[in-house]
Amino acid sequence: MAVTNPAARTRSTSQESAKHTPLTGSWRLSKTQSRAQFTQQAKSTTHRCNILDWIKKEQGLLLIEDSSAAGKKRKMLREGGRPLTFADLDKELAKWIREQRAKKFRVSRRIKQQQADKILNSEIVKGQFTASRGWLEKFLRRHSFRLRVPATVR
């Protein structure tokens, strides 16, 4: 029995340009025929629900490809992923951080976590949310906040 190198295996994903194949031509006549045609061209199997999902998101996919050169290599739309549980907290905390930065105040990670807890310190949400380090990392990445280190003068 041959042993494969697990590090050499890669996960197969479809790039945006490959997703346009079932969206062009006469694919609207039959989704099953579109899947068969796409599977032949891509030389891999594609599930029917993926084709249906691409059809729903056709305009978004075309806009991504046309927007920039990097858009052709994108594997997912911007709004992809799981919806936020506390979207209002996300917006309010991001707004608060921007206000503090506009006032030239330092906002450390601990302060951001404490502010998130303070915003959601109501009776309704108590016990459902914890501003953990992992949550904070993803929050900062979602809103493109970077750690700003003041430059030293030599």
Q: Are residues 21 and 69 in the same domain?
A: yes
| Global pTM value | 0.52
| Per-residue pLDDT reduced to its tens digit, 56-86 | 777 777 776 676 666 666 666 666 677 888 8
In a domain, 152, yes or no: no
When pLDDT is cut at 50, 70 and 90, the band that residue 124 belongs to is low
Average of per-residue pLDDT values in the chain:
72
Tell me whether residue 47 is in a domain.
yes
Rounded to whole angstroms, what are the CA distances from 111 to 65, 76, 108, 114, 139? 40, 33, 5, 5, 14
Q: What is the average per-residue pLDDT within 84-95?
A: 87
Q: What is the pLDDT of residue 26?
A: 43
- Residues 69 and 23 placed together within one structural domain of the fold: yes
Asked if 131 and 94 sit in the same domain, the reply is yes
Q: What are phi and psi of 108, to 5 degrees?
A: -80, 170
Q: Are 46 and 39 in contact (CB under 8 A)?
A: yes
CA 99 to CA 137: how far, in whole Å? 20
**Residue 151 in domain:** no
Q: Are residues 138 and 99 in the same domain?
A: yes
Q: Say if residue 147's pLDDT is above 80.
A: no
In the structure encoding, which two tokens stand for residue 54, read together?
A: 């691409």
DSSP SS3 for 109: helix
- Are residues 91 and 123 part of one domain? yes
Looking at per-residue confidence, does 69 or 120 come out higher?
A: 120
Give me the domain span that covers residue 129: 87-142
Mean pLDDT computed over 20-48: 61
Q: Which of 73, 99, 119 is the last residue of a domain?
A: 73
Q: Is 72 strand, coil or helix?
A: helix
| End position of a domain, from candidates 25, 50, 73 | 73
Q: How many domains does the chain have?
A: 2
CATH of the domain at 132: 1.10.10
Q: Please name the residues in contact with 135: beta carbons below 8 A apart, sequence gap of 6 or more.
A: 116
Work out the pLDDT band at 27, boundaries 50, 70, 90.
very low
Residue 129, domain member (yes or no): yes
Q: CA 45, CA 111: separation in Å to the nearest integer?
A: 49
- Which residue did the predictor score with more confidence, 57 or 12? 57
Residue 111 clears pLDDT 90, i.e. is over it: yes
